[in-house]
Amino acid sequence: MPVISVRIPQIGEGLQEARLVAVLKQPGDRVKRDEPIYQMETDKAVMDVESPYEGVLVEWLGNPDDVLAIGAEVARMEVVGDVQEAAPHGAPGNLTNVDATAAPEELSGEGTSTGAARGIPPRTRAYAKEKGITDAQLAGITPAGSKLMPSDLDAFLAGSGVGSGVSNEAFAEAKLSSKQRLLASRLVRGSQLVVPGTMTVVAGWEPIESARARIKASGDAFQPSAFTMFAFAVAQTLKDYPAFRSTLIGEETLRTYHNVNLGIAVGLPGDELVIAVVEKADTLSWREFATQAREKIDLARTGKDQANESVTVSLTNMQSFGLRDAVPVVVPPAVATLFLGESYNALDPQSSTPQIRRAVNLALTFDHRVMNGVGAAEFLNAVKAKVEAIGELID
């Protein structure tokens, strides 16, 4: 059977790249046409991608979390029958006849003329982007063969120092880490899609500090943090606010999840950031929630990013950095990010005489396409109420 390339499809006008989220088939598996074989994340959502061919999966050319250009090879398959390689859906051009004897890179269907139209396979273009090679630099690289290959780029980098780190008296350059490139890709798509709104509220923090002190004094091996109590209060609030358990699919469909998969931002050394996820957080008892949160945060600290399309709300905790206020960022398909600031002494607004109480500022950024200001304000005030009544939730 001939071997054919499986390419990242064009789904949506103007889409330039997509992230490979997960593979659903392994090399050697039999695959039917239109059967989902991997998941990809675009600026709209995470989606299953179906195989355009029937056959046997030979190999994956991309790894989960890779950001690949539209049209780039993601896998190779042995296909059944006399078939043609399909151009990415929606891409210009005709179907390309498959030569079973051709090298994988020669299956791109591109010409071999000079300049931008010469034979530069999508895989090479994606590799150039990964290495920080500009289009102008790419156009000036002479290939060893008929097409420009990643090995040609490696040779160029070895001679120029581009991408691997450059320094002189005026500046130094270094390649972004894979985690930061992934986060940057999500943030860019978020800035293109989300219509953000931000609001803040002051919440009393003494109830959580008192609960934490009681647990600490008990000597119990179960010693959850004040932040874990706050996160549990948010999970309990989300039960009653379906808009915050929702995500926008395309421009017309609102998907509402039955349960809460709560995201928690976890910082890593080198200022990297990943997301821990407490699954079905609203169904867990207090002890179950605290245990799972600790396990998932510890997993995130090993570098495992657990973000997925079902995480609609994420929490970011900056208390230990002395930050009182911030404007958090929403990364779709999530619809909200909630910031927890440092605790501080504040005047009690409920007292008729000047009284000091412990307080925190909560800042919520939400996607205005999914909910409006009144709904967001009601949710934020409900979180405040749960925080101030934490003893009723965890006792």
Residue 247: what residue type?
A: T
Q: 277 with 200, same domain? A: yes
Mean pLDDT of 320-344: 93
How buried is 231 (Cβ within 10 angstroms: 0-12 exposed, 13-18 middle, 19+ buried)? Answer: buried
Mean pLDDT of 179-183: 72
Q: 318 with 341, same domain? A: yes
- The token duo for 33 is 């046409």
| SS3 label, residue 20 | strand
Domain end, chosen from 126, 158, 175, is at: 175
Q: 87 with 166, same domain? A: no
Number of structural domains the chain divides into: 3
C-alpha to C-alpha distance for 101 and 96, rounded to whole angstroms: 14
- Judge if the upstream peptide bond of residue 333 is cis by omega within 30 degrees of 0: yes
pLDDT confidence bin for 169, thresholds 50/70/90: low
Q: 217 with 237, same domain? A: yes
pLDDT in tens, 53-62: 999 999 999 8
Is the predicted pLDDT of residue 392 greater than 70, yes or no?
Answer: yes
Q: 100 with 69, same domain? A: yes
| CB burial readout 357-382, b (16+ within 10 A) else e | bbbbbbbbbbbeebbeeeebbebbeb
Q: 195 with 312, same domain? A: yes
Q: 241 with 335, same domain? A: yes
Q: 195 with 301, same domain? A: yes
CB under 8 A, 24+ apart: contacts of 74-78: 74/6, 74/7, 74/8, 74/20, 74/38, 75/5, 75/6, 75/37, 75/38, 76/3, 76/4, 76/5, 76/6, 76/104, 77/3, 77/4, 77/6, 77/31, 77/51, 77/53, 78/1, 78/2, 78/3, 78/4
pLDDT in tens, 243-264: 999 998 777 889 999 999 999 9
Closest CA to 259 of 276, 242, 277: 242
Q: 18 with 167, same domain? A: no
| CB burial readout 275-293, b (16+ within 10 A) else e | bbbbbbbbebebeebbbbb
CATH of the domain at 79: 2.40.50.100
Q: 226 with 356, same domain? A: yes
Q: For residue 129, what are the domain limits?
A: 117-138+146-175
CATH of the domain at 190: 3.30.559.10
pLDDT at 351: 80
Is the distance from CB of 336 to CB of 242 less than 8 angstroms?
no
- Selected residue with higher pLDDT from 288 and 142: 288
CA distances from 23 to 16, 34, 60, 249, 278 (A): 21, 15, 9, 21, 23
C-alpha to C-alpha distance for 380 and 78, rounded to whole angstroms: 54
Q: 134 with 204, same domain? A: no
Is the distance from CB of 72 to CB of 8 less than 8 angstroms?
yes
**Angle formed by the axes of helices 206-218 and 226-238, to 10°?**
120
pLDDT in tens, 116-146: 334 577 778 778 777 778 776 777 788 877 7
Q: 200 with 171, same domain? A: no
Mean pLDDT taken over the chain = 82
Please tell me whether the overall predicted TM-score, pTM, comes out greater than 0.85 for this model.
no
Is the predicted pLDDT of residue 378 greater than 90, yes or no?
Answer: yes
